[in-house]
Amino acid sequence: MARWKVYLARIACVLILAGGFKPLYLQMFTGARTSWAAALVERPYQKMPVYRAFMNGVAERTPPDARIAIAVPAEDPGAYTYGFLRGTYLLAPRITVPLFSGGESPTLQNIRYAEYVAAWHVNPHSFGPHFERVWSDGDGTLLRRVR
């Protein structure tokens, strides 16, 4: 075996080792783990700060078989889906009802399926007289169907 091949093989081994190495895992032995944990808790909701706290409040005030419409600001379907799917996880096993059909503007058609509305940064009065206010945390309001 030629010497250069042996050295090149050794270099390749070191490159594979170094290329795959993740310093983050070793940082977990330091105080970095605490800040990493804090960042992780809010990471799925980083575009909607305090959304998690609001939805947890909704979950505390609704039965597990409730049907809850999720109303969040929706400039486009992607923005609505961001809030809807995260709300669905936090409220599961409650049935969440989408208020955005994927068209150009939000639709309230599905509201007929909902017993509750979790309205986050959305005017709660826009749902008319059929719903009454149950609870509010300043960022969002939980409404319940009255008729």
For residue 11, give the amino acid letter. I
CB 49 within 8 A of CB 91: no
- Residue in the structure block whose two tokens are 């989408």: 98
* 16 contributes a contact to other proteins by CB under 8 A: yes
* 124 contributes a contact to other proteins by CB under 8 A: no
Phi, psi of 132 (to 5 degrees): -115, 155
CB 99 within 8 A of CB 113: no
* 40 contributes a contact to other proteins by CB under 8 A: yes
* 89 contributes a contact to other proteins by CB under 8 A: yes
| Minimum distance, C-beta of residue 84 to other proteins, in the bound complex (Å) | 8
| Minimum distance, C-beta of residue 32 to other proteins, in the bound complex (Å) | 10
Cα dihedral value 88, 113, 126, 109, nearest 10? 100
* 1 contributes a contact to other proteins by CB under 8 A: yes
Binding site for other proteins (CB under 8 A): 1-3, 5-6, 8-22, 24-29, 33, 36-38, 40-41, 43-44, 64, 81, 85-86, 88-89, 92-93, 96-98
